[in-house]
Amino acid sequence: MINIVILGSGNVATLLGTSLSKAGYNNIIQVWSRKLEHAKALANLLHTQFTDDIDQVVDSADLYILSISDDAIPFVVSKMKPVSGIIAHTSGSTSIDVFHNKFSNYGVFYPFQTFSIGKEIDFKNVPILLEGSDSNSLSVLESVALSISDKVQECNSDQRKVLHIAAVFASNFTNHLYTISQKLLEDNGLDFDLIRPLILETALKVQEIMPAEAQTGPAARNDLSIINSHLKQLESEPELSAIYRLLSNQITTFTDKNRS
Amino acid sequence: MINIVILGSGNVATLLGTSLSKAGYNNIIQVWSRKLEHAKALANLLHTQFTDDIDQVVDSADLYILSISDDAIPFVVSKMKPVSGIIAHTSGSTSIDVFHNKFSNYGVFYPFQTFSIGKEIDFKNVPILLEGSDSNSLSVLESVALSISDKVQECNSDQRKVLHIAAVFASNFTNHLYTISQKLLEDNGLDFDLIRPLILETALKVQEIMPAEAQTGPAARNDLSIINSHLKQLESEPELSAIYRLLSNQITTFTDKNRS
């Protein structure tokens, strides 16, 4: 049983805190958040203590999970008192070195998933990527991660950065393409509901096969008559045309390469 | 009970044929395909007759479902003998007018989903979009569609074209973004399996909320320090940089607009 302090109260802090709490053999002894009411809300969920004063963070915990926005990490790290326990952030984009010179035992505990407030998530399937300043820190982080997820692996800061970029393409940009389709449908009196099954099936397909094999559509077939008719239809939307052109060209080139 | 001929033997023809056959109260009396072995394979699945000779297509059916590639539709239509039954194609991109001057009763029967050979699909959740040359043709198409899907609605050729463009963005382009993430991961010794849960969750989110509300990530936060660090990392990949820049700019503009 190790004692944990959670610093932060957002989506990740909340889902991580509740999952660790359910996992049972971890003991969350305190929640800190910049806003007292946020700290209190999460602490109540976890039946534990809370504070909004960084100086009041207990110094006796085994593990400090720092789950706050990327740009706030260096500031909070600079304000914290040094602790002998392990401190780990949950960020995809912040190097492990942010803890260097201030703490002795530290690491990264990065759950690789998109989280929304109010949406339950089964952590079992969420990859947790770990990095540690030393083998003991890594091993403590590993045992905590394994208590909630089946997919735990080591990953250095360079790889984590690539993972984050890949996530921007596969999740943030993908969601923007959904938004574009929503706009196209609504502008033409059609309901977004019509396209929801297609969106889901597209994501389900690549759970089994690789996306390069799953590619279909006019660009993969290099069907210029359809591509040009779509571009004509999008004439009044220069930004959509630009995206259509760029992605279609790349799909065609890529499919040619794969097939030759 | 209506008699149906299926023309075509690809993914859509096969999934449609087997679903109609399971639905029970439709009678598939013949399969035609350009290749005899393909016609035979699907006919065997459906326990029915087959031919590869367009002149041998029976002229007594109530409904002819033409499910072949877009560019082959005009040619097959020109070769067919006129029939008194209803003929409908299953294409997103071909106008209903392709049947004009040749047939009297015709329409479109467009299942709006992505299909792969060997992957079972529950047609109940697949929207089927219908268009008819006249109210009787439309009503026959509707009763057939309702036998396999809960999501049947009318949709004219202009709307269907927009739907197809929306599908290119939400499915074909999305899949290409998955491919990019696969390449980024593999180039850095990481397994595509790591990102599969994120891809699925991104699609699941918009089953409940609208994608514009679900948008997260550096571009939605206008987090220039992360965006620039990602662009620096992608420097050696001009095409990926171009996509990253274009989509990020559009997400930032769009999020600003939505929030102001």
The domain tally of chain B equals: 2
Q: How far, in Å, CA of A11 to CA of A34, rounded?
A: 15
- Helix, strand, coil percent content, chain B, rounded in steps of 5: 55, 15, 30
Instruction: State whether residue A246 sits within 8 Å of chain B by CB.
Output: yes
DSSP state of B54: G
Best residue of B184, B198, B222, B231 to probe chain A, by most A CBs closer than 10 Å:
B198
* Spatial distance between the Cα atoms of B95 and B126, rounded to a whole number of angstroms: 21
CB neighbour burial string for A73-104, b if at least 16 within 10 angstroms, e if fewer: beebbeebeebebbbbbbbbbbbbebbeeebe
Task: Report the alpha-carbon distance of residue B233 to residue A161 in Å, rounded.
Answer: 9
Pick the residue from chain B with its C-alpha nearest to A223: B71
Q: Tell whether A125 and A12 lie within a shared domain.
A: yes
Token pair 């089994």: residue: A208
Q: Which helix (H) or strand (E) holds A198?
A: helix A196-208
Who's near A61: CB < 8 A, 6+ residues apart? A3, A4, A5, A29, A30, A83, A85
Give the closest of A215, A233, A242 to B179, CB-based.
A215
Confidence at residue A59, expressed as pLDDT on a 0 to 100 scale: 95
A84 and A9 inside one domain: yes
What was the pLDDT predicted at B68? 96
User: What pLDDT, in 10s, does the model give residues A109-158?
Assistant: 999 998 876 777 889 999 999 999 999 999 999 999 999 999 999 999 89
Residues B123 and B148 in one domain: yes
| Contact between A42 and A64 (Cβ < 8 Å) | no
B200: closest chain A residue by CA: A203
For chain B, positions 199-228, list CB contacts with chain A under 8 A.
199-208, 210-212, 214-220, 223, 225-226
Domain carrying residue B234:
160-259
Tens digits of pLDDT across chain B (260 residues):
899 999 999 989 999 999 999 988 679 999 999 999 999 999 999 999 999 999 999 999 999 999 999 889 999 999 999 999 999 999 988 999 999 989 999 999 999 998 876 777 889 999 999 999 999 999 999 999 999 999 999 999 899 999 999 999 999 999 999 999 999 999 999 999 999 999 999 999 999 999 999 998 999 989 898 999 999 999 999 999 999 999 999 999 888 776 65
Element (H, E) at B66: strand B63-66
The domain that holds B15 is classified in CATH as: 3.40.50.720
Dihedral sign (CA B132, B133, B135, B136): negative
Place of tokens 């309901």: A191
Among A171, A184, A212, the residue with its CB nearest the CB of B162 is A184
Amino acid at A40: K
The last residue of one of the domains, among A155, A188, A219, is: A155
**How big is chain A by its Cα radius of gyration, in Å?**
23
Nearby residues of B209 by Cβ (< 8 Å), 6 or more positions away: none
> Measured between CB atoms, does A45 come within 8 Å of chain B?
no
Asked if residue B176 and residue B47 are part of one domain, the reply reads: no
Query: In angstroms, how far apart are the furthest CA atoms of chain B?
Result: 68
3-state SS, residue B206: helix
pLDDT given for residue A248 in this prediction? 97
From A197's Cα to the closest Cα of chain B, the distance in A is 7
Shared domain for A97 and A113, answered yes or no, is yes
CA A209 from chain center: how many Å? 22
Instruction: Give all strands (DSSP E) within B102-167, no chain letters.
Output: 106-111, 128-132, 152-154
CA angle B167, B184, A196 (to 5 degrees): 20
- Considering CB atoms only, which of A164, A181, A187 is closest to B169? A181
Same domain, B9 and B133: yes
How far is Cα B47 from Cα B65, in angstroms, rounded to an integer? 17
Give the mutation candidate from B116, B157, B171, B216 for the A interface (greatest A CB count, under 10 A): B171
My answer on whether B198 and B113 are in the same domain is no
Let me know whether A128 and A19 are in one domain. Answer: yes
Domain boundary among A102, A133, A155: A155
Here the CATH number for the domain that contains residue B184 is: 1.10.1040.20
Same structural domain, A41 and A129? yes
Question: Whose CA is closest to B21, among B37, B39, B38, B43?
Answer: B43
Closest CA of chain B from A115, distance in Å: 9
DSSP B238: H
Phi, psi of A189 (to 5 degrees): 70, 25
Chain A residues touching residue B211 (CB < 8 angstroms): 175-176, 178-179, 181-182, 192
Whether residue B172 sits in one domain with residue B151: no
ipTM of the complex: 0.90
The strand order across the sheet containing B49-51 reads B49-51, B26-32, B2-7, B63-66, B86-89, B106-111, B128-132, B152-154
**What are the start-end ranges of the E strands in B138-243?**
152-154
Backbone φ and ψ of A236, nearest 5°? -80, 0
| C-alpha–C-alpha distance, residues A162 and B233, integer Å | 8
In angstroms, the CA A241 to CA A232 distance is 9
Q: E strands along A103-239, which residues?
A: 106-111, 128-132, 152-154
Domain end: A131, A155, A179, which one?
A155
Positions of chain A with pLDDT lower than 70, given as ranges: 25, 117, 258-260
Quote the radius of gyration of chain B (alpha carbons, Å).
23
Residues A50 and A102 grouped into a single domain: yes
Integer angstrom CA distances of residue A57 from A6, A7, A32, A49, A76:
10, 9, 7, 10, 12
Task: Enumerate the residues of chain B whose CB falls inside 8 A of the CB of residue A256.
Answer: none
Clarify whether residues A137 and A169 are in a common domain: no
DSSP alpha helix (H) spans, B188-237? 196-208, 211-214, 224-233
A215/B113 touch (CB, cutoff 8 Å), yes or no: no
- Residue A238: CB partners within 8 Å, gap ≥ 6? none
